[in-house]
Every structure is written in C-alpha cells, then in structure tokens.
C-alpha cells in the first residue's frame, strides 16, 4: 500500500485490542472503499514470533474484535467513510 491510500482508508483501526481479526477487517475496509488487494509474485515471509494467551481466541478482547470486523464488513461504502471519519487522526486532503 502507499502512504496516501493507507491514510485515506483510515490507517489502522484502533478499535482492535490485542490480537485478532484486524487483518480481515483491513481487507474488508480496503475493498469496500474501492481498492484492490493483490498478492505479490514469489515467496513471502512471515517473521516468527512467540504467541501467548493474548494471541489466540482466549484473548479477552477477541469477541469485541470479531464484532468490530463484522460491523465494518456489513457497512455500505458511504457508512464506512462516515465511520472512518469519526476516527481521531487527520485524513483530510491527502
């Protein structure tokens, strides 16, 4: 993603607490706002990192994260733009 597109789409949704569903929500938000998701050709890497109770469905915020993802998924594009506009960081004129 380029910086200006990331900003226009609301950057990261800070309603997510700890681990869970933020990647899915971001994909729904981007496609709903008219962006395409593409896979780069070749090998991709995910850096290994330890996982704890906060990195699973046992995370106390996981249910709220699922609900936030579903809320975004069920919005119309206009509703989503209005929702993102309520987020606290500046996005105008980017």
Q: 88 in a domain, yes or no? A: yes
Residue pointed to by tokens 């699973």? 56
Boundaries of domain holding 32: 1-11+21-36+53-94
Instruction: For residue range 15-74, list pLDDT tens digits in order.
Output: 998 888 999 999 999 999 999 998 889 998 888 888 887 888 888 889 999 999 999 999
Nearby residues of 30 by Cβ (< 8 Å), 6 or more positions away: 1, 9, 37
Distance CA 86, CA 64 (A): 19
The DSSP line for 52-63 is -GGGSTTSTTHH
Number of domains observed in the structure of the chain: 1
């Amino acid at each position: 993603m380029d910086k200006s597109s990331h900003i226009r789409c609301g950057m990261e949704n800070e309603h997510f607490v700890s681990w869970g569903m933020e990647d899915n929500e971001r994909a729904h938000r981007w496609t709903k706002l008219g962006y395409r998701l593409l896979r780069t050709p070749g090998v991709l890497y995910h850096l290994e990192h330890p996982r704890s109770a906060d990195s699973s469905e046992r995370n106390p915020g996981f249910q709220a994260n699922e609900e936030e993802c579903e809320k975004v998924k069920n919005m119309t594009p206009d509703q989503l733009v209005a929702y993102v506009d309520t987020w606290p960081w500046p996005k105008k004129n980017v």
